[in-house]
Amino acid sequence: MTPPPASPPAAPDDRTLTETGLAASGKGRVLILACGALAHEILALIRMNGWDHLDLTCLPAILHNRPEKITAAVEAAVARHRAGYERIFVAYADCGTGGKLAAACKRLGLEMIAGPHCYAFYDGLAAFEARGEVTSFYLTDFLARQFETFVWKPLGLDRHPELLEMYFGNYETLVYLAQTEDPALDAKARSYAERLGLAYERRFTGMGDLATTLERLSS
């Protein structure tokens, strides 16, 4: 009898994903090199679909706030892991790198996620573009859980709430792009909208284009 495929390890806590990321398990032929903010979702997809040929490693999610550092971090991780896998897939969109990450992936012969950022691929690239939401500020499940670490504190709003208008004065709505049905997270996201003085909208996206992208990778 064939033993069932081994489940991927559970994702570490959000703080570890934010600061450290996730080490590869060393199992699987294809490595997904992702942002730590996607770890829970990618591991859930791997588990759900039994994609035991996929391994996952994540860079610290806090790079989201320092996009100028993403490309070099991805390149270094690729150099570290290349020999151990048949293929590496970069689970980042442009993420504020201004095309630099795409250029690096092209040079290295690697595929990455299409689109500007995770908000777009969760929402679905075409839908996101069609909406043309200029004045929306987005949160995902991860960012809603980590709002203080990724938004409130790094912008100095914990120390200087008077800066709120300078940062968010031109925004109108906080759109929470929900990957899961989680009323508690919905309530949190709503409270953040209030804190930022923005209208609130919850939009359930599920895994969006992240699921279809990884499916393609698995076919």
Q: Given the rule CB under 8 A, which residues bind another protein?
A: 67-68, 94, 96-100, 116-117, 132, 134-135, 154-157, 159-160, 162-163, 166-167, 170-171
The conformational region for residue 92 under phi > 0 = left, psi -120 to 50 = alpha, else beta, is: beta
CB of 156 vs another protein, minimal distance in Å: 3
Task: Answer for the pair 183, 144: CB distance below 8 angstroms, yes or no.
Answer: no
| Least distance from another protein to the Cβ atom of residue 68, Å | 8
Q: Count CB atoms within 10 A of the CB of residue 22.
A: 21
Count of Cβ atoms closer than 10 Å to residue 29 Cβ:
12
Minimum CB separation of residue 197 from another protein in Å reads 15
Nearer to another protein, 117 or 145 (CB): 117
Closest to another protein by CB, 51 vs 128, is 128
Sign of the alpha-carbon torsion through 99, 137, 43, 22:
positive
Q: Which residue, 134 or 184, has its beta carbon nearer to another protein? A: 134
Beta-sheet pairing, 199-204 with 173-178: parallel
Least CB distance from residue 79 to another protein, whole Å?
Answer: 22
Q: 131 vs 203, which CB is nearer to another protein? A: 131
